[in-house]
Structure 1
Amino acid sequence: MIYVKRSAGLIPPDLLNSAMVAEQQLERLPPEQRADFIRAHSHIWRAFKRYLSEMSYGKCWYSESPEAQSHLDVDHFRPKLEARRSENFCDKPGYEWLAFSWDNFRLSAQLSNRPVRNEETDATEGKGSWFPLVEGSPKACWDDRCVGREQPMLLDPANLDDVRLIEVQADGRMGPSKFCLGTDRKRVQTSIVRLGLDLPRLKEARLRVMRHVGELCEALGELIEAGSDDEGFADKAPTKRLMKALRDKTHPCEPYAAAARAQLRAMALDQLCIAPEEV
């Protein structure tokens, strides 16, 4: 998971307006008609897919999987029709008033968005309608839309503070970063399961990136060592090209850039990671 910077400027005004009109129509409906209205207008949020994809360079906002390798859904971060808080409790309705709010949309690979069995653990993972809250958190509803005071258990890729809590581990799995303490560690573990972040094929994809980055780092190290006492060799060596290749691996447009960044940190070369101001 890496931070996704959202931009309303990428979305056509006509599409934003159609979503706003649907919101206004929904507001005027009695409670018993809202769910059917939302289902009948699913084409509105699906129309945002292209523009959400542009914001994340064609990658799932949760897993960093590229669109070419994964069917992507427009996920409602706060579920629209029901919100499952635990195995035994589900709030119905969910966050109906956010059904057409593009602020609530996240682009998600189907393996992150839909329930799926983890082949390694045999557990069911995937977000579905899951949206647990930290114990004691306020809970928003139609009559009290206090989403700004809610404390979700799931990490949000559109929230930079959340993204800083999670990182790729040496074995390709996701885990808490050094900045993650207390309740945030539970949030990371919950997010890993509910967003399907450690499914076997996803873990293997990260490891492939990490191995490639490791090989490039070793080659770079050999060039630096060989050129340290030989100015002629140093001038001809493709050192800068290798450094650029490593930096490019950490760009947000690259699949599993978080894995590339983690490998560079592990090899004490994190200065080669692309800085936020360079994107």
Structure 2
Amino acid sequence: MREIKPPEEPVDFSNATSHARRTVGASIVSGVPATYPGLWSKYKAIFSKAQLGKCAYCEGQVLGLQYGDVEHIQPKAEVHTLDDNPNSWGREIPWSSSVEGRKAKGTAIKPGYWWRAYCWDNYLLSCQICNQQWKANFYPIVGEHVIAPTTCAGRTLLLSPFDAGFDPSAHFVFGRLGEISALSDEGRATIATCGLDRPSLRSARFKTALATHEHLDEIAQDLTEREVLRILRYIARDGQDSQPYCGMVRIIFIHRTGLPWDKLRDLISALSASGKPL
């Protein structure tokens, strides 16, 4: 994951969803199961542009490879929770995008965060595997879910790239094989909720993760400035916003060097301007 500037709410969004909001609210008040018109889907292109066509959770390419979803961060119809036991989180079926053995803790909470169904800041673009197979209606928080528009749900543990001041390096660490581990409660809950350490993802991230670690191994050796510059440019290329798993590359760089990602650009500029032939 990486921090992303959220897209601005379209000027027509409130009017376009006002009838649906009123209808859902009336159903909830009367005790009738609500129906949620999928009006959010018409705004998929806006989120795809903001996220450069990548899943907000796993950073895999969405458009062109698989059909993504405009996903509700806070589930609208019902809410499930995961047990603390990793054995209940489920596992990816080999050679399949499906999950088996995933068990919810207790019974589903119904209705869910229904008043958030048509809130712009409750959306992001997710790949179908992260959204439909893993996250679904799971929403981890600290404390208990209290489903009422005037009540705080509790501190959320599910991370979003749109979170203000989001620093993924404070929550995740990546190994050489593309495996991801948590550094915080939020990181652990997000990995479990979205299946971010599933084998297919580790495999997809493997080459980039290994290359980034090996590049940094090289820098630790006695190299010329020209060689260091060449390696830093490779890392900068793989960490560009448009690249799949660029957030992982940045996290590896930050943890391995102790430097912020923005410092990499400064290092490249300084070496390029050193006056020595490249």
TM-score, reference length from structure 2 = 0.73
Deviations 1:125-160 (A, max 9, x none): x0111123323x5x3424x4324x522232233224
1:254 aligns with 2:243: yes
Letter aligned with residue 178 of structure 2 = G
Structure 1 residues 127, 270: CA separation in 2 closer, same or farther (over 3 Å shift)? same
Change (3 A) 1:161 1:31: farther
Query: For residues 1-279 of structure 1, what are the structure 2 equivalents within 5 Å?
Result: 1-8=1-8, 11-29=9-27, 30-33=29-32, 35-36=34-35, 38=36, 41-42=37-38, 44-67=39-62, 68-85=64-81, 86-115=104-133, 126-135=134-143, 137=144, 139-142=145-148, 144-147=149-152, 150-159=154-163, 160-161=165-166, 163-170=168-175, 171-177=177-183, 180=184, 184=185, 187-217=186-216, 225-226=223-224, 237=226, 240=229, 242-265=231-254, 267-268=256-257, 270=259, 273-274=261-262
SS across alignment from 1:211: helix
Which deviations, in whole Å up to 9, do the C-alpha atoms of 1:189-216 show, x marking residues without a partner? 2321220101112112222112233455
Which amino acid in the other structure matches residue 146 of structure 1? T
Amino acid at match of 1:52: F
Instruction: Kindly provide the amino acid, as one letter, of the partner of residue 130 in structure 1.
Output: F
Asked if the contact 2:208/2:249 (under 8 Å) is kept, the reply is: yes
Residues 251 and 274 of structure 1 are in contact (CA less than 8 Å); yes or no, is this contact kept in structure 2? Answer: no
Cα pair 2:178 2:210 within 8 Å, conserved = no
8 Å contact from structure 2 (residues 169, 255) kept in 1 = no
Closer/same/farther in 2, CA of residues 173 and 218 from structure 1, 3 Å limit: closer
Which runs of 5 or more structure 1 residues have no equivalent in the other structure?
Answer: 116-125, 228-236
Give the distance between the partners of 1:247 and 1:208, measured in 2 at CA.
Answer: 16
Q: CA deviation at 1:56?
A: 1.3
Distance (Å, rounded) in 2 between the aligned partners of 1:158 and 1:195: 16
Query: Per-residue deviation at 1:60?
Result: 0.6
For structure 2, which runs of at least 5 residues remain unmatched after alignment? 82-103, 267-278
The normalised TM-score by structure 1 is 0.73
**Residues 215 and 153 of structure 1, relative CA distance in 2, 3 Å threshold:** closer
| 1:174 Cα deviation from its structure 2 partner | 1.8
CA distance in 2, matches of 1:161, 1:267: 20
Instruction: Confirm or deny: 8 A CA contact 1:62 1:112 kept in the other structure.
Output: yes
Structure 1 Cα separation of the partners of residues 179 and 247 of structure 2: 11
Q: What percentage of aligned pairs have identical amino acids?
A: 24
CA distance in 2, matches of 1:172, 1:130: 25
Deviation of 1:13 (Å): 2.1
Q: Which moved more, 1:260-269 or 1:64-73?
A: 260-269
Aligned partners of 2:55, 2:147: CA distance in 1, in Å? 28
SS of the counterpart of 1:92?
coil
C-alpha distance in structure 2 between counterparts of 1:13 and 1:162, whole Å? 30
Higher helix share: 1
| Compared CA separation, residues 161 and 15, structure 1 to 2 (3 A) | closer
Q: Which amino acid aligns with 2:42?
A: A
CA distance in structure 2 between the aligned counterparts of 1:239 and 1:161, rounded to whole angstroms: 30
